[in-house]
Amino acid sequence: MTVFSDLMAFQRETEALGQIAGRLGWDQETMMPDGAAEQRGEEMAAIENVLHARRTDPRVGAWLEKAEAPDAAGARSLELIRRTFGRNAAIPARLASEIARVTSVAQGTWAEARARDDVAHFLPTLERVVSLVREKGQALAAAGFGGGDPYDALLDDYEPGATAGGIVAMFDRMRPRLVALRAAVLGAADQPKPLSGEFDHARQLGLSRDLATAFGYDWTRGRVDLAVHPFSSGSGNDVRITTRVVEAEPFNCFYSTIHETGHATYEQGIDPAYLFTPLGQGVSMGVHESQSRIYENQLGRSRAFTGWLYARMRAIFGDFGIGSAEDFYRTVNRVQSGFIRTEADEVHYNLHIMMRFDLERALFGGKLEVADLEDAWNTRFATDFGVAVDKPSNGMLQDVHWSVGLFGYFPTYALGNVYAGCLMRALRDAIPDLDASLARGEAQPATDWLREKVQRFGGLYAPAEVIERACGFAPSEEPLLDYLEAKFRGIYGL
């Protein structure tokens, strides 16, 4: 055995254990009996300890010094193992276990605070989390990650290569156009009708399965279950999705399913040769989100596809008070100022992200104290959305991310939208009659193109690189903004 194959054999087992940990997490959110929560906590902690020990194993360091890759995929695998090893080595063991301990409790405290609309209950915990994650960012920066900048070093974990500076510049270009579009749309005389009525639970689930199929989900290597907050889980030949059903809100079920199908087909579409290697998973949060978003929005909320969905819904649910496919398209894409990020339409979504990004950078840059976060949130929200936050669960307590120490994560959602905009431009050029198949409820040609251009590469290329190779141009916000303006000006008759 060469040093390289020793390392890859060791890594293979680490990756397999990582998949097992993920499946425990899936079980916890879907199947696990309530009474098992504490026991599961200990089981998860045990496997996380094993994973941490393997990722920081001194043998990995020794192998990395001597290993020689046989090919480009091997070289990229070494690069990714080296990165993970370096990041873990840079964080003192004491700090890593303190972060794990504090954030596991913090998530519960956040949930209590959100349920009671009690910011004060959460603030001491959030102070502790921010201070620990700040320390982590500094430790990573000191080891050279994020170009020596603590926030960039955190961001680098979710979107390697991205920097706060680059995102600030991009958001500065996006914000005026989004704000103007939002104002024009909300001021339009002819507003789309909201959906009303009740839609049977089982029938919603049935149609959501058809939607996953339409987008190319491989049921022989996946399954769908219910979860409170839909997610997808797993890689390779076991990639599961979840959805939720609210009888009065069928779009929630359908578009959650399409979104998670996007994440899942990415994982299912990765070259099987990469399974159990560092290349065997989606390369970054941003690229992952580009797949879920292009499925959900650019394709799933297109005029062509909603025409098919309208006919299917009429066949399944009967008349639900919307008289034409065109009206249905407008209803699906109805723009509304709302408090909740996860329920935001395409026009508002990135404004939610920009706000979180600015606030968390202010927290990390020492320009904002945790105690002042609620005020800062509410002031900014009123400015950007034109509505006063009515309660903390509709404001700064709505997202779980900060409680579990995910700082530097939010901007990857906006990057995903931007990448999706780029991919859609390239996809339309590549398949001029795309709408004809979407109108028949067939998204397979789009999935085939995305598989060929993005999904199969897994972790082989860096995030911005895989998008650029797919599109033939460097990623920018321009295609997304052009798409949004054309679409919503059309829908609102502007």
CB of 259 to Zn ion, least distance (A): 6
Work out how close the CB of 96 gets to Zn ion at its nearest, in angstroms, rounded to a whole number. 26
Residues 6 or more apart whose CB falls under 8 angstroms from that of 183 comprise none
Q: d(Cα 125, Cα 371) in Å, to the nearest integer?
A: 11
| Residue 370 · residue 363 · CB < 8 Å | yes
The residue (of 259 and 303) whose beta carbon lies closer to Zn ion is 259
Cα gap 362→356, rounded to integer Å: 10
Measured from the CB atom, the residue of 81 and 227 that comes closer to Zn ion is 227
Residue type, 95: L
Q: Which region, judged by CB under 5 A, interacts with Zn ion, from 99-107, 128-136, 287-295, 421-429?
A: 287-295
Residue nearest to Zn ion (CB): 292
301 and 488 Cβ atoms separated by less than 8 Å: no
- Cβ at position 262, least distance to Zn ion in Å: 7
Closer Cβ to Zn ion, 292 or 393, answer by number: 292
Pairing mode, strands 232-233 and 224-226: unpaired
Using the contact rule CB under 5 A, the part of the chain among 106-114, 158-166, 291-299, 403-411 near Zn ion is 291-299
Q: Which is nearer to Zn ion, 292 or 437 (CB)?
A: 292
Smallest gap from residue 75 Cβ to Zn ion (A): 30
Write out the two tokens for 285: 């949060």
**Residue whose CB is less far from Zn ion, 146 or 262:** 262
Q: Is 417 near Zn ion (CB under 5 A)?
A: no
For the CB of residue 337, give the shortest distance to Zn ion in the complex, in Å: 22
Any residues with CB less than 8 A from the CB of 168 and at least 6 apart, and which? none
How far is residue 461's CA from residue 470's CA, in Å, rounded to a whole number? 11
Site for Zn ion in 192-211 (CB under 5 A): none
Nearer to Zn ion, 236 or 262 (CB): 262
Q: Which is nearer to Zn ion, 255 or 328 (CB)?
A: 255
Size of the site for Zn ion (CB under 5 A): 1
Q: Applying CB under 5 A, does 290 fall inside the site for Zn ion?
A: no
Region binding Zn ion by CB under 5 A among candidate stretches 105-113, 164-172, 286-294, 378-386: 286-294
> Least Å distance between CB 414 and Zn ion?
12
Distance CA 279, CA 270 (A): 9
Q: Report the alpha-carbon distance of residue 147 to residue 68 in Å, rounded.
A: 26
CB of 263 to Zn ion, least distance (A): 6
Residue type, 330: R
For the bound state, the minimum distance from the C-beta of residue 197 to Zn ion, rounded and expressed in Å, comes to 28
CB of 296 to Zn ion, least distance (A): 8
Of 208-216, 244-252, 292-300, 454-462, which part binds Zn ion (CB under 5 A)? 292-300
292/302 with CB nearer Zn ion: 292
Task: Name the one range near Zn ion by CB under 5 A: 83-91, 175-183, 285-293, 350-358.
Answer: 285-293
Task: Say how far apart CA 405 and CA 240 lie, in whole Å.
Answer: 25
In this structure, the number of other CB atoms found within 10 A of the CB of residue 13 comes to 11
Nearer to Zn ion, 405 or 416 (CB): 416
The set of catalytic residues is 260
Residue 292 near Zn ion by CB under 5 A: yes
Give me the residues that bind Zn ion (CB under 5 A), please: 292
